[in-house]
Amino acid sequence: MMEMTGLDNMYGDAKHAINQLKKIKCTWTYQGEDFDYWETDCGHDFCLMEGGSPTKFEMNFCPFCGKPIGEAWRKWDDKT
């Protein structure tokens, strides 16, 4: 006989895991031209060549934690 509760839990866990995977990203935040480095979600600082961004250098994954990189630019760094 099947234990429905066990299966439900397993299904719930798998669903949860998939949702977590979808969410997982390492966001790199540019710290502005004065500092010219990127701060990663996983607690590292990374310098790229001037004007560079992770996607510009085709860096799809964080070298520190292996997650896909999400880019973020500081709002105050916007040029109008």
What minimum distance in Å lies between the beta carbon of 62 and Zn ion? 3
Per rule CB under 5 A, is residue 65 in the interface with Zn ion? yes
Q: Residue 70 forms beta bridges with which residues?
A: 27
* 38 binding Zn ion? (CB under 5 A): no
**What binding mask, one character per residue, do residues 45-64 give for Zn ion by CB under 5 A, x or -?**
-----------------x-x
CB-nearer residue toward Zn ion: 17 or 42: 42
Contact 48, 40 (CB under 8 A): no
